[in-house]
Chain A
């Protein structure tokens, strides 16, 4: 089992980012919540607006910081804040919308939003907030899942990246005679081969390029297709198409990383690629920038860390697909006055000065275009330089319907090739068939 960023958020003991710890967090503390934690209660004489979020400590700290700042500017409005474990929140939202007792504002993961928007449960973002075009203020990848039929139903706060950066251990590289980080795909494969050490029993003592986590396999595959000039969506825009020449080439090249080049193996270790890296057992690991802060917090003694740019697989730009990350939505059935106040708060959070604090505290990449290459952010989180460089090349992954099933089918196809249970073409054709069946079932007759 590997840990995705979403899964990571489920860990209540997740460490606070090093950046946040050094700056905004002073004096603030937040523990994990068993089922749900009430941070504040309604106040008589004020307009009370309720807000639910998940319980990742750094997110909670960022959120409570926003509340304090907002209430100082808007004394007539009180944000009644409550947070829940990730899994509980996901289920609670479904049940609460069904029972019509949901909070006025909710922090939702982008991929969830479309389903709620389609069923007309969310309030449309006021044009004063969204701008003339949602993509004029926010990156297309960040805002994609918040959009339905050209209308915006929530405000994203982060650009949920899994591509673009690689954890790199310069010490292990130097030991293997590699002086410069890989600049091309060929360099990356060669470095991965040289940095993999296999013991006499045929197992890896050290992995050269750890990328076989559930998220990385899928995101790398989709990115490779896009870089070859292809697309993973069929002409109807609803189903996937992995039969294109680009998809086939991408898939064969990706699976050969383990079958031919042996830079990683899904059965050599049971941990997550990033923990393997921070334990010094992986020289490079494909992972989003969120992992830098988490790794530093979880492995404070580990210092052999660089976060380098992921070299393009084809062409000269790293095109990739990304999910939309966390952001705020407002309940369409809330009282009009409350809705107005709710959007005021969401708009306040999306203001660049506040978004900067929120992103730094939560160790996330900003969804606001305006904060790209922001000097203040780079001063406090220099590792953001790499992701900032790729933000314009990302696009929204599209409506995958069932995110977990979609990713699992591709992951399982990869493992079946690695274990020589299926040839690459058969495996990816099977994954395509299953994903399309899943989509058909979700759409219904």
Chain B
């Protein structure tokens, strides 16, 4: 007779790792115990300030007044309906990022490609390009202000030597933003060059060898090997550079203070002036939250578009 036996099955892999309830609790306690300090730091320095910022943005906050009345979304609607300077600053920031980000990336990639192909003095050139990046933005701006001086600056002096007439680069609404942009790209180039160079040097040479065997030329190798394999580096550089330029403040503050005629007033500068010049902290916080949302959306879109679906 066939013995009826309860089939004994080997426990599934998952159940082998399953621990008893008290054991799991101990594990969780261990994990949360170790995470607690960083969670506390995150709560104190990120969540609480964000919460306070949201609270501030919904109030007419005057540090000196005994009460700060709740005004709902008035600060947000005010930004878009009664403060043309805010809309102007959004446009200025957009223009700044739209031009400076591609310019920075194209130039830094070109420099990185050039550095990747030289062996002699590469370290020297890398250092030269990186040096401005380690200078403070204030120092870099102070170097460029006299260069742009309409009377004694060497930019106009060179133009005059060439028979061209100079300009008041920082004093003319038509050129002020572009002049600061040049300084920004000059200063920030080095950082992206280093990142791109690292990305380029991480690409296995085998890919290029195979491409060469298949008859791919320089342009084709760049188009079909270098660019796709740099995609992860692109995402990193693109997001960081865009976020940096959307938050541009120091160079603008030092070189033009947002003028003339607010032609170079970026959003962060406008927020700063409202917060610490006019002490409209509630309104400034509302603008900060608007900027945060804009940056968040742009960063997510960039990461979505540029995401990489493969590994090598």
Q: Choose one: A201, A268, A405, A412; the contact of B160 (CB below 8 Å).
A: A201
Interface contact B63-A98, CB-CB below 8 Å: yes
Asked if A116 CB lies within 8 Å of chain B CBs, one says yes
Report A410 CB to chain B, min CB distance, Å. Answer: 13
Asked if B65 CB lies within 8 Å of chain A CBs, one says yes
Q: Select from chain B the residue with minimum beta-carbon distance to A409.
A: B85
Asked if B171 CB lies within 8 Å of chain A CBs, one says yes
Q: Choose one: A115, A201, A270; the contact of B64 (CB below 8 Å).
A: A115
**A121 to chain B: which residues have CB within 8 Å?**
64
Alpha-carbon separation in the docked complex, A267 to B261 (Å): 12
The B259-287 residues at the A interface (CB cut-off 8 A) are 259-262, 273, 276-280, 283
Interface string of A402-445 (1 = CB under 8 A from B): 10110000001001100101000000000000100100010011
Interface contact B64-A268, CB-CB below 8 Å: no
Interface contact A91-B278, CB-CB below 8 Å: no
Alpha-carbon separation in the docked complex, A374 to B296 (Å): 64
Alpha-carbon separation in the docked complex, A276 to B84 (Å): 34
Interface contact B173-A405, CB-CB below 8 Å: no
Alpha-carbon separation in the docked complex, A404 to B149 (Å): 25
Alpha-carbon separation in the docked complex, A41 to B71 (Å): 44
**A415 to chain B: which residues have CB within 8 Å?**
173, 260-261
Report A52 CB to chain B, min CB distance, Å. Answer: 16
Q: Select from chain B the residue with minimum beta-carbon distance to A119.
A: B64
Interface contact B171-A116, CB-CB below 8 Å: no
Alpha-carbon separation in the docked complex, A426 to B165 (Å): 31
Alpha-carbon separation in the docked complex, A138 to B209 (Å): 88
Given contacts A94-B279, A98-B64, contact A421 B257 (CB under 8 A): no
**A202 to chain B: which residues have CB within 8 Å?**
165
Q: Select from chain B the residue with minimum beta-carbon distance to A269.
A: B151
Given contacts A267-B171, A437-B82, contact A416 B278 (CB under 8 A): no
Report A4 CB to chain B, min CB distance, Å. Answer: 12
Interface contact B160-A402, CB-CB below 8 Å: no
Report B150 CB to chain A, min CB distance, Å. Answer: 7
The B60-112 residues at the A interface (CB cut-off 8 A) are 60, 62-66, 69, 71, 78, 82, 84
Q: Choose one: B63, B148, B273; the contact of A94 (CB below 8 Å).
A: B63
Asked if B166 CB lies within 8 Å of chain A CBs, one says yes
Alpha-carbon separation in the docked complex, A405 to B258 (Å): 13
Interface contact A119-B65, CB-CB below 8 Å: yes
Given contacts A94-B64, A97-B64, A119-B64, contact A270 B170 (CB under 8 A): yes
Q: Choose one: A115, A270, A444; the contact of B168 (CB below 8 Å).
A: A270
Alpha-carbon separation in the docked complex, A253 to B150 (Å): 27
Q: Choose one: A115, A269, A402; the contact of B150 (CB below 8 Å).
A: A269
Interface contact A1-B257, CB-CB below 8 Å: yes
Interface string of B162-175 (1 = CB under 8 A from A): 00011010111100
Asked if A38 CB lies within 8 Å of chain B CBs, one says no
Q: Select from chain A the residue with minimum beta-carbon distance to B169.
A: A270
Asked if B183 CB lies within 8 Å of chain A CBs, one says no
Q: Which one of A405, A412, A441 has the greatest number of beta carbons of chain B within 10 Å?
A: A441
Asked if B192 CB lies within 8 Å of chain A CBs, one says no
Interface contact A412-B151, CB-CB below 8 Å: no
Report A101 CB to chain B, min CB distance, Å. Answer: 13
Q: Select from chain A the residue with minimum beta-carbon distance to B74.
A: A445
User: Which 9 A-B pairs rank lowest in CB-CB distance, beginning with the nearest?
Assistant: A267-B168, A267-B171, A119-B64, A94-B63, A98-B63, A201-B165, A1-B257, A402-B278, A404-B277
Given contacts A1-B257, A98-B64, A115-B64, contact A444 B278 (CB under 8 A): no
The B236-260 residues at the A interface (CB cut-off 8 A) are 256-257, 259-260
Beyond the given pairs A270-B148, A270-B171, 9 more chain A to chain B contacts, judged by CB atoms under 8 angstroms and listed by A's residue number, are A91-B276, A95-B63, A119-B65, A202-B165, A203-B150, A266-B260, A269-B168, A415-B173, A444-B69
The B110-150 residues at the A interface (CB cut-off 8 A) are 145, 148-150
Interface contact B261-A270, CB-CB below 8 Å: no
Interface contact A1-B63, CB-CB below 8 Å: no
Q: Choose one: A269, A404, A441; the contact of B78 (CB below 8 Å).
A: A441
Report A336 CB to chain B, min CB distance, Å. Answer: 21
Q: Choose one: B69, B145, B168, B257; the contact of A268 (CB below 8 Å).
A: B168
**A269 to chain B: which residues have CB within 8 Å?**
150-151, 168, 171
Interface contact A201-B166, CB-CB below 8 Å: yes
Interface contact B261-A421, CB-CB below 8 Å: yes
Interface string of A233-271 (1 = CB under 8 A from B): 000000000000000000000000000000000111110
Alpha-carbon separation in the docked complex, A379 to B230 (Å): 76
Interface contact A404-B278, CB-CB below 8 Å: yes
Report B26 CB to chain A, min CB distance, Å. Answer: 45
Report B44 CB to chain A, min CB distance, Å. Answer: 19
Q: Choose one: A97, A421, A441, A445; the contact of B82 (CB below 8 Å).
A: A441
**B273 to chain A: which residues have CB within 8 Å?**
404
Report A10 CB to chain B, min CB distance, Å. Answer: 13
Interface contact A419-B173, CB-CB below 8 Å: yes
**A405 to chain B: which residues have CB within 8 Å?**
278
Q: Select from chain A the residue with minimum beta-carbon distance to B84.
A: A434
Q: Select from chain A the residue with minimum beta-carbon distance to B260.
A: A415
The A367-418 residues at the B interface (CB cut-off 8 A) are 402, 404-405, 412, 415-416
Report A100 CB to chain B, min CB distance, Å. Answer: 12
Q: Select from chain A the residue with minimum beta-carbon distance to B175.
A: A267
Report B203 CB to chain A, min CB distance, Å. Answer: 47
Given contacts A94-B279, A412-B261, A437-B82, contact A266 B64 (CB under 8 A): no
